[in-house]
Structure 1
Amino acid sequence: MDRLGSRPQTSAAPSAAETTQRPPQPAVPDSGAKGAAAHQVLARYTSWWEARITAFANTSKSGVGIGLFSTGQALSDSLANVYRLREAGMVMQGRPRSDARVVALDLDATPQTATVEDCLDVREWHQADARTKQIRDPKQRLSRYMVTATARHTDQGWLITELKPETERTC
């Protein structure tokens, strides 16, 4: 499926362990008002991840770009992670892969809200020593897992408000 659930997925076949996941939620329609809003949510979610990747990869970046796309727990946790990485003398190398889709959208709520489910694949995203660039991943590291993000519409557009890793759900 594409990010809105309307095309076949092109990822590799799941392993036996990955087939025990609970069924994915249906995606929001790809057309009409909900489709347009869902595309906006996914654009913000993708931009938020790009800002995080940039901040986590560079010890001189403040992470301020993350605040353009998030608020609340999503913003505070992201900035705390930037700080923790820097304090440990670490950066992130590579990129995570995302297969996000909007699974819920309430345009009648005040503020409007959305839920994004994402299969986050971090096999190519590694913790590394900031000075030597040597990879220093934790020994017990998950490589693919589901995350659920919530977003709300504000006068600044859609902002990511929360990100919940669901490490018990493989994808």
Structure 2
Amino acid sequence: MLASYTAMWTEQMKAYRKADAKGTDLERYVTAEALGQFRNDLDRMKAAGTVVRGELGHAGTEVTGLDMEAQTPTATVRDCMDISKWQTYSTKKDQVLPMPSNQPRRYVATAEAQKWEDGWIITTFTPDGAQPC
């Protein structure tokens, strides 16, 4: 399960680095609902002329819920997202944009997943910037 979550983030970072999901395997790891969330982010980035540089860190990523008895097995993942080495870069201004001063650098995110025939797939992803970790 965690391997699918990690692969999702690998593909998501590829997309964030160019503000476009084309050429990534993101669709392999997320449902249409979760993909829609990420595409909204990418559309906002593209409109603003921004991309992401640097790395997204993860700490204490763990499966906090698992139901293998359900008709479609489900899992919940809790992650501590670390954006301290993540930069928003303006392609229009050719410069790194400062992070908002109230933006926590480490915060909790939760993902829900289902076990499908081809493996685990992320159905929702919910960052909680108000919950530092």
Q: Provide the TM-score with structure 2 as the length reference.
A: 0.89
The aligned amino acid for 2:104 is L
Q: Please identify runs of 4+ aligned residues in structure 1 that moved more than 6 A.
A: none
The aligned amino acid for 1:135 is V
Task: Trace 1:121-160 onto structure 2 (pairs within 5 A).
Answer: 121-130=82-91, 133-139=94-100, 140-160=102-122
**Secondary structure in 1 matching 2:41:** helix
Whose radius of gyration is greater, 1 or 2?
Answer: 1
> Hey, what does 1:71 align to over in structure 2?
31
Alpha-carbon offset, residue 111 of structure 1: 0.6
**Secondary structure in 2 matching 1:159:** strand
> How many aligned positions are there?
131
Asked if the contact 2:33/2:123 (under 8 Å) is kept, the reply is: yes
**Secondary structure in 2 matching 1:135:** strand
The aligned amino acid for 1:154 is W
Distance 1:128 1:121 in 2: 17
Identity of aligned residues (%): 30
**Secondary structure in 2 matching 1:109:** coil
Distance 1:65 1:131, change over 3 A: farther
The aligned amino acid for 1:87 is A
In structure 1, the gaps of 5 or more residues are 1-40
Distance 1:149 1:60 in 2: 22
Q: Provide the TM-score with structure 1 as the length reference.
A: 0.70
In structure 2, the gaps of 5 or more residues are none
Task: Trace 1:1-171 onto structure 2 (pairs within 5 A).
Answer: 41-59=1-19, 61-62=21-22, 64-99=24-59, 100-130=61-91, 133-139=94-100, 140-171=102-133
